Amino acid sequence: MKKVKPEQIMRSFFSFTFLCCLLFLNRPAHAQSDSDHTYRKPLQEVLEQISQRFGVKVKYSREQVKDKWVNYAGWRFRPDLNQTFEEVLKPLDMKVNDEGHGVYKLKEYEYHRWAPADGWAMLDSLSKRYPSLESWEKRKAALKPAIFQALQLSPMPRPAATKPVLTRKRLFDGYTVENISIELIPGLYLNGSVYKPAKMKGKVPVVMSPDGHWAGHRYRKDCQVRCATLARMGAMAVSYDLFGWGESLLQFKSSDHRRSLAMTIQTLGGIRMLDYIYGLPQTDRQRIAISGGSGGGSHTVLMAALDDRITLSAPVVSLSSYFFGGCPCESGMPIHFAEGGTNNVELAAMAAPRPQLVVSDGQDWTAQMPEHDFPWLQRQYARYGASALVENVHLPKEGHDFGYSKRKALYDFLVRHFKLDASRIRTHAGDYDETGCTVEPEKALYAFGDNGEYLPATAIHGFDELVSAFDRYRKK
């Protein structure tokens, strides 16, 4: 028998080993073990198992679970319910919302909504980056241009050559109303209504009033009443449309509001409206406020952070460290990634030491405002010795609206800081009589006529035209 040399044995061994490795690396994914396939279960079945194991109810629609599978399903269960939900749903870009009393609702992944603890941890981490007033000022100085860059407003598009157009003035009990259109860039219009005291003596304060996503927008009763009441107390109040809402629908589809550029156009609109207000001879430049609710509150925070001409801000039912805005008009552009990451509470702190009122409630993402976010905001104001200039009115039994109690909080704050004259409408109990306000029909607040007949022939129509025009004028 032929003797085999040791080196031949070694070569054969390594050849065999190499061949085995190739076969292993090139095997089908399912070939490791047939049992792996038994670990894959339909999402609906996994949710039912979670319900049984933890004694909870998970609400979902048929469409939400259709054709969705969980790989290694049994291995994703943990002793803790929340950890189990995360292990099962995170790979599917899904989550659940806790509705209380052991009831959970299946949701698509919400990039804009964090757990409160995560938002608070981010704030605490951010504050460690600026232990002194000097370092905080450097942070603010870096954030502002980075946000403009994220909004694609650096460079800023040049203003249109046209002047704002005001409609016929309507006279009411102690105030007047005119509708306004402002050309932001050639062919793109922002519309709103200007409420003024019927008799103006000297310079008056101004309150910009962007609004949220409530039905009716600036035509709603509570918006008209708020602006009229401010005018009756001696302020000029200006309400204006969101992009893709109100008269903006003469130029765009409502679905265009949920495009990222909506955030940019709304910011540009706010700046151009402020330019107009700032140039009026009757405007007191030391008393310019902005106050909006919900999505209008997010716009309020952003405007106050970016423009120092605003001397007072009041975001209503909107501000939170763990909620970034559920609409692309609030979070569609990457402003929250600026300078290593930020959130809306840090942006609100950029207004310090200018007076700021934060109104929160018990039924939305502002429900825990007094626990962490507001004390954090107070500490930033304290750096300037101005902690008394930021206030929180928290209404734990109320919900997401701009109802009377929220308006009263705003009125009180403005009376105190802007010296408004509430003598005509404030009762002995400290309430405000809004019955003298006239609620006009929606069409009365249109700037371009009942059917858009006064919209200029040169107006942009459609989102594609907007993108082209915006890029063209941004580069000039």
Those residues whose C-beta lies under 8 Å from the C-beta of residue 256, and which sit 6 or more positions away, are: 243, 244, 262, 463, 466
Q: How many CB atoms lie within 10 A of CB 371?
A: 11
Provide the pLDDT for residue 111: 85
pLDDT tens for each residue of 33-89:
455 566 899 999 999 999 999 999 999 999 999 999 999 998 899 999 999 999 999
State both tokens at 1.
């028998």
Distance of CA 322 to the CA centre of its chain: 11
User: For residue 460, is pLDDT > 90?
Assistant: yes
How far, in Å, CA of 476 to CA of 473, rounded? 5
Please say whether the beta carbons of 113 and 365 come within 8 A.
yes
Q: What is the pTM of this model?
A: 0.86
Residue 301's CB is within 10 A of a number of other CB atoms, namely 27
Torsions phi, psi for 402 (to 5 deg): -120, 50
The mean pLDDT value for 351-361 works out to 98
Q: Whose structure tokens read 């007191």?
A: 284
Cβ–Cβ under 8 Å, residues 372 and 329: no
CA dihedral sign, ordered 359, 361, 365, 367: positive
Task: Please name which of 181, 225, 218, 396 lies closest in space to residue 299, comparing C-alpha atoms.
Answer: 218
> What is the pLDDT at residue 470?
94
Q: What are the pLDDT digits (tens) for 282-322? A: 999 999 999 999 999 999 999 999 999 999 999 999 999 99
Q: What is the pLDDT of residues 321-336, one digit of tens each?
A: 999 998 999 999 999 9
Q: Which of 339, 321, 310, 325 is nearest to 377 (CA)?
A: 321
Beta bridge partners of residue 107, listed in sequence order: 95
In degrees and rounded to multiples of 5, residue 289 shows phi and psi of: -115, 165
